[in-house]
Chain A
Amino acid sequence: MHRFILSRLLSAIPVLFVVSLVTFLIMWLVPGDVASQIAGPDASAEELAAIRDRLRLDRPMYEQALVWYANLFQGDLGQSYLLNRSVVDAVLERLPVTLSLTAMSLLLAILFGVVLGVVSATNHNNWIDQATMTGALLGLSLPDFWFGLVLIFFFAVELGWFPTGGYVPFTEDPAGWLRSMALPACTLALTQMGVIARMVRSGMLEQLGQDYVRTAKAKGLPRRLVLFKHALRNALIPVITLIGVMTGILLGGAVVIEVVYSLPGVGRLIIGAIQNRDYPIVQGGLLLTAAVFVFVNIAVDILYTVIDPRVRNVR
């Protein structure tokens, strides 16, 4: 088991290397002169030279890359042009909001997705099943940021149950925090809820057709036990593998939803930085979010082998 965890951690090294390289190269995609893009149209020649010097834009590419990696290994992602602080500090300060939004919506999606999937499977092919599955399909076809605006319109503007946006820190007012996170988390959960419901349904249907379920029924086990203790447990295994992929989708989605609901997370930081051409922040936000995603995937892989030891033996 330890060897498996170690090998999984080691396999993250090449991935993180490519991730950091891509992040470095994104600056290189910026068309034209980066310095004049940063400084704006009426910058003087001295200002441009100062920026070029500070960012080493006048140096060859390999030198820029070496400096990027040398700093990276020291945990230094550069300075923000506008915020006047280090990129790492700025991103780490915002990360908890993004991560808690992601985690909350993941929980909601799993909870409701599993319930809907089970309800659907146990009502196979009747109207409940069809209604649930139509709902799930509709859910994963809606643009989430737009659905966020719909929720704001109904629950915040029309009914006034929730704030239209803004953030209350958990440490200040837990209830207010929950109210400020409720709509964003529901918005983000919607799509993945549909995906999970569809997966749980087909997993349950497959398990319910297996011999061991027939045996369990035949020996007179209550239906509740057969469904939840036997069938659901096995139907959930593929859902666990999906959690890794979903975290990535939700992290990306959280970035957009933060903008819709004016939450002070990494997403709004990045978008603000894009508008102000504060590229180090864009790079830092991208890199750190991707790193979180890589490690979540490793954690999910390890969790998966704990739950289903067969996977370990295959390797």
Chain B
Amino acid sequence: MSDSAAVPAPRQYRATLREAGRQLRGLLRHRSIRVGGVLFGSVVLVAILADLIAPFDPNKNDFRAMLAAPDALHPFGTDAFGRDILSRVIHGTRLSLLVGLLVVVATGVLGTVIGTMTGYVRWLDGPVMRVMDGLMAFPGVLLAIALAAALGPSVVNAALALTITFTPRTARIVRGSVLVVREMPYIEAARACGAPHRRIILRHILPNALPPLIVQMTFVFSVSILAEAVLSFMGVGPPPPTPSLGNIIAEGRAYIQEAPWVALTPGVAIALSVLGLNIIGDGLRDSLDPRLRNL
């Protein structure tokens, strides 16, 4: 059955799992990956438990406590509608991680498919990569803003705009690895044995293109979190009163003099997620992709 290429037999599967576990343990020995993992992991935990740990409903107005300074009840104060900043930031973090995750998955899948096809199928390479070059010729943030503005403000559209913006570079990275691996003697050997294209791509080429892709994905994740905040700050992301971190900062901007906590708190949340991801990314680059160690 040709299906054996896609779905490994149980015994092979267990071996693959064991191998993956071994590699994961190897990675965890790396200090940056552990430090970044703890930092980013705590942010993820906060996002998952948002409903349990947020002290207030993020959209509940309290007109007796408008722009209240931080105190025991509202540790990070309240905004112009008396909404609790801590609760809004916790829910905003959840939203920003959600958008980041959507973009990472969509970019990863699209980038891998486009990168593999252009790297493997010669006649596709020219035309498809010209389109990717064209997309990369836009300043990234600007393209994302224009796309999100045209699509209309929503969570899904923000994720879509960022996916279109970040896919070309990811495709280029995958294509680069595929072009190198394609010329290896073991691919020739596999072809000589009569292996079908699907098997060659899935079993031989993709696993070797994976390390740089994983490094790129941590980068896309952190950049997406930053870019989602930019989109909402500019008013083309998820519309208010959605507690997105960029929205909270945009709303707090008008009150920067009398209530700086509104605009300043969400930025710390963004910085923590991005810092965690960047530290993980540095560690992954060190251990997975020695060629890039100097970048």
Q: Which residues of A contact B (CB under 8 A)?
A: 14-19, 21-22, 26-27, 29-31, 137-138, 140-143, 145-147, 149-150, 152-153, 157, 199, 202-203, 206, 248-249, 251-253, 255-256, 259-260, 270-271, 274-275, 279, 282-283, 285-286, 289-290, 293-294, 297
Contacts and interface: CB of A to CB of B under 8 A. Distances in A.
A292 to B, nearest CB: 9
B268 to A, nearest CB: 9
B116 interface: no
Interface residues of B, number: 47
Given A18-B137, A294-B137, 17 more contacts: A14-B130, A17-B134, A18-B130, A18-B133, A18-B134, A26-B150, A138-B271, A142-B267, A143-B226, A145-B233, A146-B249, A149-B249, A202-B293, A255-B141, A282-B146, A289-B142, A290-B143
A252 B134 contact: no
A145 B228 CA distance: 12
A249 to B, nearest CB: 7
B105 interface: no
B101 interface: no
Contacts of B234: 256, 259, 271, 274
Contact of B249 (A138, A145, A153, A282): A145
A11 to B, nearest CB: 9
Contacts of A252: 139-143
Contacts of A145: 229-230, 233, 249
A280 to B, nearest CB: 12
A78 B233 CA distance: 28
Contacts of B143: 22, 252, 286, 290
B139 A153 contact: no
Nearest to B126: A14
Contact of A157 (B145, B235, B256, B279): B256
B294 A22 contact: no
B83 to A, nearest CB: 19
Contacts of B176: none
Contacts of B69: none
**3 interchain residue pairs of minimum CB distance:** A18-B134, A252-B141, A252-B139
Interface of B: 130-131, 133-135, 137-143, 145-147, 149-152, 222, 226, 229-230, 233-236, 249, 252-253, 256-257, 260, 263-264, 266-267, 270-271, 274-275, 278-279, 282, 293-295
Contacts of B145: 255, 270-271, 274
Contacts of B135: 18, 22
Nearest to A21: B134
Nearest to A273: B149
Contact of A143 (B134, B271, B278, B279): B271
Given A256-B141, A271-B234, A141 B256 contact: no
Nearest to A14: B130
B275 A137 contact: yes
A293 B138 CA distance: 7
B266 A15 contact: no
B139 A26 contact: no
Nearest to A150: B264
Contact of B294 (A16, A203, A248, A290): A203
Contact of A141 (B133, B138, B222, B253): B222
Contacts of A157: 256-257, 260
B16 to A, nearest CB: 34
Given A31-B152, A142-B267, A256-B141, A274 B229 contact: no
A27 B150 contact: yes
B267 A143 contact: yes
B256 A149 contact: yes
Nearest to B274: A141
A270 B145 CA distance: 9
B55 to A, nearest CB: 23
Given A146-B249, A149-B253, A248-B139, A15 B271 contact: no
B270 A146 contact: yes
Contact of B278 (A16, A17, A140): A140
B140 A274 contact: no
Contacts of B271: 138, 141-143
B278 A248 contact: no
